Amino acid sequence: MRLHPPCLRPAAPRDLLRSGPILLLGLALSLSLGAGGCGGPPGSGASSGLDAFDPDAAAQGLRLGPPAFEVPRAWTGPDLPFPPEANPWPEIRKERITRLLGPAMARAGVEAWAVFVRENLNDPLALHVGGENAGGQAVFLFFREDGPTAGDPPQVRSLAFSPAGEATALRDLGVVDSVAVLSGETAWTAAARELASRDPGTLAVNSSALAVADGLTHTQWGQLTGALGPALTGRLVPSEELVVQWLSVKTEAEVEIMTLAAEITAALELEAYARVIPGETTDADVAAFLKRRMAQLGVGDAWAPEQNPNVNSGPDRGHSHATDRVIRPGDVIQTDFGIRVWDTWVTDIQRFAYVLAPDQTEPPAEILRSWEAARAGNRAAFDAMRPGATGLDVDRAQRQVMDEAGSLDVFWNTGHPVGYWAHDVGPSLGGAQRGRAPSPHALRPLLPGHVFAFDGFFGWYLDGNPPGPEFPAVDPDRPTKLISVEEMAVVTPDGARWLVPPQEELVLIPSRSSR
């Protein structure tokens, strides 16, 4: 019943036959894989560059042992899986603006969009429009235009007003169609002049209830409206809908990147489980091992570093940090882990393990039943993912399985978008919780290119006593354990596709006496 990931390869050799950013991605992955292969078990030295990626080195000084069961290395080199010099983001960003921004503006009912960038406290979306290196105040303007012929998707024309010190580099990036140097006027007055000449019916700005679309400060809002005057100010709309429509859809190249990152994420979790010594290893040891492996592979944290990875062998702690709790026979271990690659794309995957007692060869029946119920809920959510379905539809499908299995109530959403952030923008896979009205994001329809991290749930009390009259509501004074089978999938025109093969069985960790 032990789970082993497939040997890792570049995401898809067919990428080398494509053009544009996907071609660059295929070349990047081919270069990063180099002459390495899957090789043998940890420590086998399958290629000359493996020392830098050796899991044994990452385990030194921690209360971890040699692998108790065979798992392939998460990465065999000889080079980094995501080498900085092969970062495809510049070309992917251009493609996203050229191909996806116009249709997103149309779906959001927006004719123009202004993004103001600056040094030190930059707009959260600066990286996505080319303003990440801003010094003085600059503005990026995007205007929706009809396609060249009837039926063609909308297009975008773009212009940046920049201080002279950054204008040359901004032109070199080639993100926007043209760059004008600010001379004798501010970014606010230049934007107002350009907008007045274009006369858009609606102008989106980054001031909204969505954090990543809320870059304008109170002071900046005053500067902007003062420059625009009453007529144009009356056409301002929050950019939230535009940002959701644009950023939630990932390109084929981006899905390829996230697929390889997800493969590595899941494989690293298995590497860690293989080294657990029941009675000695702590949750913090497992987390430290994964941190060291991240450093070896040159990847970052998908969310707050202090809580990534969240390794928990004891009662539920929610979003938290790993503690010094010693892992013992009978424990169900949850590892919630994500990596950030090329400082842009992230993953979010959970893997579960059970620690066998000396006389056990498989988990007790009630643990297996809990696992199978959670897994079934996850698969029901996956089956419900299709274009046009809402996040609420997916959540209901999972909760129906959860409730029929007799789980405690779970307040978490079934899932969330993942991509540029662990909790990305887009449809929320939630809203069917008892006593809670669905949020507007739960009512959003799924679109091809949406990527989700999503769970199947089963929760129970750890004190061994039966549920009380509050069931399925949770008694906050009783310790609980939740299995949350979290996988990643992308919505396709025909349904959904796993980014990596989902976990089918609990990882079994043998006791010390059986090693």
Instruction: Output the pLDDT for position 51.
Output: 57
- The residue-averaged pLDDT of 127-151 equals 93
Residue 152 vs residue 349, higher pLDDT: 349
- Tabulate helix, strand, coil % of the chain (nearest 5): 35, 20, 45
Tell the CATH topology of 89-247. Creatine Amidinohydrolase; Chain A, domain 1 (3.40.350)
Using pLDDT thresholds of 50, 70 and 90, give the confidence band for residue 322: very high
Mean pLDDT (the chain, rounded): 90
Is residue 310 over pLDDT 50? Answer: yes
Instruction: Output the pLDDT for position 431.
Output: 96
From 397, 396, 348, 407, select the one nearest 372 (Cα to Cα): 407
Q: Which long-range contacts (CB under 8 A, 24 or more apart) does 369-374 make?
A: 369/405, 370/458, 370/460, 370/483, 371/458, 371/483, 371/505, 371/506, 373/401, 373/402, 373/405, 373/406, 373/407, 373/456, 373/458, 374/402, 374/455, 374/456, 374/457, 374/458, 374/483, 374/484, 374/485
Residue 39 vs residue 145, higher pLDDT: 145
- The residue-averaged pLDDT of 70-78 equals 91
Q: Which residues pair with 467 in a beta bridge?
A: none
The beta strands (E) that lie in 342-449 are given as 345-346, 349-355, 415-417
Q: Looking at 87-91, 153-157, 210-214, 469-473, which range is the least confident one? A: 469-473
Is residue 468 over pLDDT 90? Answer: no
Instruction: Output the pLDDT for position 53.
Output: 86
Q: Let me know if 187 is exposed, middle or buried by CB neighbors in 10 A (0-12, 13-18, 19+).
A: buried
Q: Report the alpha-carbon distance of residue 106 to residue 175 in Å, rounded.
A: 20
Q: Which amino acid is at 391?
A: G
Q: Give residue-wise pLDDT tens across range 393-421.
A: 999 999 999 999 999 999 999 999 999 99
Is residue 477 over pLDDT 80? Answer: yes
Q: Report the alpha-carbon distance of residue 27 to residue 29 in Å, rounded.
A: 5
Residue 62 vs residue 39, higher pLDDT: 62
- 3-state SS class at 483: strand
Using pLDDT thresholds of 50, 70 and 90, give the confidence band for residue 89: very high
Instruction: Output the pLDDT for position 512.
Output: 72
Is residue 358 over pLDDT 70? Answer: yes
Q: Report the alpha-carbon distance of residue 350 to residue 484 in Å, rounded.
A: 8
**Residue spans per domain, the chain:** 13-85+248-514, 89-247
Is residue 94 within 8 A of residue 156, CB to CB? The reply is no
Instruction: Output the pLDDT for position 30.
Output: 42
Residue range 13-85+248-514 forms a domain whose CATH class is alpha beta
Tokens of 460: 């129970």
pTM: predicted TM-score of the whole model, two decimal places: 0.89
Q: Which amino acid is at 164?
A: A
Is residue 465 over pLDDT 50? Answer: yes
- The residue-averaged pLDDT of 285-302 equals 97
Share of the chain above pLDDT 90, in %: 84
Using pLDDT thresholds of 50, 70 and 90, give the confidence band for residue 173: very high
Share of the chain above pLDDT 70, in %: 90
Is residue 355 over pLDDT 60? Answer: yes
Instruction: Output the pLDDT for position 29.
Output: 43
Is residue 277 over pLDDT 50? Answer: yes
Torsion on CA atoms 50, 52, 55, 59, rounded to nearest 10: 150
**Is there a shared CATH topology between the 13-85+248-514 domain and the 89-247 domain?**
no
From 388, 406, 387, select the one nearest 461 (Cα to Cα): 406
Q: Give residue-wise pLDDT tens across range 186-244.
A: 999 999 999 999 999 999 999 999 999 999 999 999 999 999 999 999 999 999 999 99
